[in-house]
Every structure is written in C-alpha cells, then in structure tokens.
Amino acid sequence: MTEQVDRSKVLQQLRMSDIAFRILTRSAAIAVLIILGGIIFSLVYGSWPALSTYGFTFLYDETWNPVTEKFGAIAPIYGTIVTSLIAMLIAVPVGLFIALFLTELCPMVLRRPIGIAIELLAGIPSIIYGIWGLFVFAPFLQQHVQPFLIATLGNVPVVGNLFAGPPYGIGVLTAGLILAIMVLPFITSISRDVFEAVPPVLKEAAYGLGCTTWEVARYVVLPFTRVGVIGGVMLGLGRALGETMAVTFVIGNAHRISGSILAPGTTISATIANEFTEAVGDLYTSSLISLGLILFVITFIVLAFARIMLMRLNARVGK
C-alpha cells in the first residue's frame, strides 16, 4: 500500500513538472510573438506621419533635405541592397571554399589554428572594422585598387559604368568589402560545422567509386548540407543588411544614387545612426523610423525567400 502511494506521488510530481515545462515553453514562444508584434506596431506607429505625408513617393524619392523637410528613402535602400550584394558575392564562395578546405584538404595540425583564427574574426567589434577600414583599408583601395579598376574596367561597355569616377577610397565598394570580411566568419563557421556532420561512409563510398575531392564536395557534401549552408548564408546576409558602425565609417554617407560602386553612398542603418540624435521635428524623426520599418520589411522578405527556396529544394529531392 505504501509503495502504491509513493508511486502515485512520483507520477503526480512528474505530471506536474511536465505541465509546468509545457507552460514555460509555450509562454516563451508566445513572448517572442508579443515582442515581435510590439516592434512592428512601434515601427508602423512611429513611421505613420512620414508615410501619410509622402505616401509611396517616400520609397522612390532620392531627396533627403531636413531643412525643407523633404525626405526620400531610395538612396539608403539602394545602398543597403548593393553593399549587401557585394558582400555576399564575395563572402559566400570564399567562405564555402575555406570550409571545404578545413574539412577535406587541410592537414590536421592546421585545422584548429585556422578555425580559431576565423572564429576570432567574428568577435571583433564592428567599430574596429570601421576604424581599420577608414584609416587603413580605404587609403589602400584609393591608391592601388581603385585606380587599377578604373584603368582596366572603366572603359568596358556596360561594366565600365560601375567603375567610373575618381578613386575616393571610401564608397559603396569599400563598404561591401568590409561587410564581406565581417560576414565571412559566420558563413565559414556554420558551413564547416555542417560539413563535418556529413557521414564519413557517404564520402568514402564516393571516393571508392573514383570521385575526386571536388566531385565529393559538389555531389555529396553540398547536397547533404544544403539546409545548413543556406542558413549560414542567411545569417551572414542578415548581418550585412543591418550592420551600422563599420558601414558608417567607410561608405561616405552621401544621400544620392550613383551608377558607380566607387562613389560614396549611404545605407538605412548608417542614415539612422548618423541622424537620429540630430532629428528635429516629428516629420524628420518619423522618416528615420520609416527607414527602420523598410529595413525590417527587407529582412522579412529575405527570410521568407530563403524559407521558400528550402521548401522547393526539399520538394525536388522528394520527387
């Protein structure tokens, strides 16, 4: 009888702990949704004066004049997209190749030091990247890289417009290169971890069939880890879209659109960081908050596109 009572007490305690755990996890999930909803509401509420005043013209107007209270968001939007695109075009292939080297080709003695060095790059504060970019990287580009690009590609049809103008040093290209260096550790670390999770038997079978290292990486490793790789790329893209201080130092902070990636520009986060503390008037502040809302929407679209792409990949594999 005593054993049955003790057993019932233990079962009751387990049941109560399970209920408490379920309530705790559900509350955490609901809290995330509440916080997200609060952020969206705050952005929409704060940006409503500007959106109601300018309408859709706010999205494609290049004017940004606090004196006359005429604001347009196309220049920061353009700078955000272009710098992030440059960063990902450089960081994604380089990060994947580094991860493949560390997992497939690198000697065991060097794997740990190189891996630690790459992870240390992720721990460097963004303002340090900005200072280094302004005082070291930008002068190097101005003196050596940009003149070479202007001389070799400046007269090429179509492509030449991207490399027109004087070598400023700072500009959209410089910001994109700094962003590429900043997001590279995230893409490399996540890709390396998922590459190491590939079952050795799959790679050994491919090598046994006579595949080269490149063929194993292309037809075995990458297909098996595509979800993790895309997740790492999306994490790096999110970092590139929202980066503030490093971009603010090297992009030039010019509210205009130029066909040349060597020219100065601006991004949404750089504009908010530079001008929010100096914003005078409700319309000026609301315009800056509207930029934050636009950045939120861009990030949401990117994440939704990544989710749809993963669903299509999984459906294709299922077929």
Residue 162 pLDDT: 87
What's the DSSP call for residue 253? -
In angstroms, what CA-CA distances link 143 with 48, 147, 149, 265, 299?
A: 45, 7, 11, 20, 35
pTM as predicted: 0.88
For residues 227-240, average pLDDT: 86
pLDDT-based confidence at 38, cuts 50/70/90?
very high
Residue 316 pLDDT: 63
Task: Give the tens place of pLDDT for each residue, 118-162.
Answer: 888 888 888 999 999 999 999 999 998 999 988 888 788 878 888
Q: Which tokens is 144 given? A: 């050596």
Q: Which residues contact 273 (CB under 8 A, 6 or more apart)?
A: 244, 245, 248
| Cα separation, 149 vs 167, whole angstroms | 9
Residue 272 pLDDT: 92
| Cα separation, 193 vs 190, whole angstroms | 5
Residue 2 pLDDT: 59
Q: Which tokens is 201 given? A: 């038997």
For the chain, the average pLDDT equals 87
| Cα separation, 182 vs 37, whole angstroms | 30
In angstroms, what CA-CA distances link 209 with 202, 217, 312?
A: 11, 14, 30
| Cα separation, 191 vs 193, whole angstroms | 5
Q: Which tokens is 198 given? A: 């590939």
Question: Is-contact 119 189, C-beta < 8 A?
Answer: yes
Question: Is-contact 314 230, C-beta < 8 A?
Answer: no
Residue 131 pLDDT: 93
pLDDT-based confidence at 1, cuts 50/70/90?
low
- Give the residue from 62, 37, 82 showing the smallest Cα distance to 296: 37
For residues 76-88, average pLDDT: 94
Residue 232 pLDDT: 85
| Cα separation, 34 vs 63, whole angstroms | 36
pLDDT greater than 90 at residue 312 = no
For residues 272-277, average pLDDT: 88
Q: What are phi and psi of 71, to 5 degrees?
A: -130, 140
Residue 81 pLDDT: 93
